[in-house]
Chain A
């Protein structure tokens, strides 16, 4: 065709293989219809979801699963709002019963101001969940030491933050993230902090397996268009990583020959 070699570029987590390297959240959208359209535009195959009490006063209100369908997307239930390991285990057991999925996203947060993960409690919760048979993708700080402990404890994916949840500040510590990518033998995903397309591209360029985002798409002026931008950014970053970037130099290096000038 165009002469270049195309091999299918997939990634695998807990035995499940995916083509899309962009996971999207389902929070903060105007409505579930916009949410579903954004997930489609992003080309996502996995969406994160939360589990909450049903509204008993209005049982007929729209439900997420009627728009973002579980037969189209792999649901990744999260533990948002949990501050202890026991809370997380309780919630995910309900999620497993509601959906039948054992692939879950663990996040144990420390406080409501910065939403940074409580890593001691996250590690403890991970051990409880692994013992209970869950496949756990773990939201964590960008600390390579804790990332290694999570992997040793059985995490199926390491998901360090780029910046606080919903902050849109991009990747704050590329050095740490690079160390986590280098040392990990399970997939590494940047989860949280992406603000715009270039942030997602940077995450992929340093070798992350995928990127997870919610607010960057949901709070864009045009969420569907931003979802499309993120899809392209993740592909571009991945391709650049695979292509291998040129070395950085201190000084210029001309692209046109300096000899043979008239």
Chain B
């Protein structure tokens, strides 16, 4: 399955949900927020949110800013 994650095209085995995707990318689920096809995915819904081929995913976190 192919996803676009933060603008990069990436292939994944099987059909992961959001929780599995975040874990596969080595990210701490408590420190990021996820958007799927321009819709916020609440943290409580990561495991229940299945991804589909071609989904556009944004994963963001807080960085320094003014």
Contact = CB atoms under 8 A, between A and B. Distances in A.
Nearest to B5: A56
Contact of A78 (B8, B28, B66): B66
Interface residues of B, number: 27
Interface stretch (A20-28, A179-187, A250-258): A20-28
Max count, chain B CB within 10 A of own CB: residue among A49, A94, A165, A192: A94
Max count, chain B CB within 10 A of own CB: residue among A32, A64, A78, A192: A64
Interface in B18-66: 25-28, 31-35, 38, 40-43, 58-66
Is chain A's interface secondary structure helix, strand, loop, or mixed overall? mixed
A49 B31 CA distance: 14
A53 B26 contact: no
Contact of B63 (A49, A60, A166, A192): A49
Interface stretch (A95-103, A119-127, A148-156): A95-103
A166 B64 CA distance: 15
B65 A78 contact: yes
A75 B31 CA distance: 13
B64 A64 contact: yes
B64 A27 contact: yes
Contact of B8 (A56, A99, A192): A56
A59 interface: yes
Contact of A49 (B33, B34, B62): B62
A97 to B, nearest CB: 4
A80 interface: yes
Interface of A: 25-29, 32, 35, 48-54, 56, 59-60, 63-65, 75, 77-78, 80, 90, 93-95, 97-99, 165-166, 192, 214-215
9 contacts: A25-B65, A29-B64, A48-B65, A50-B63, A51-B60, A52-B60, A52-B61, A54-B60, A56-B6
Interface of B: 5-8, 25-28, 31-35, 38, 40-43, 58-66
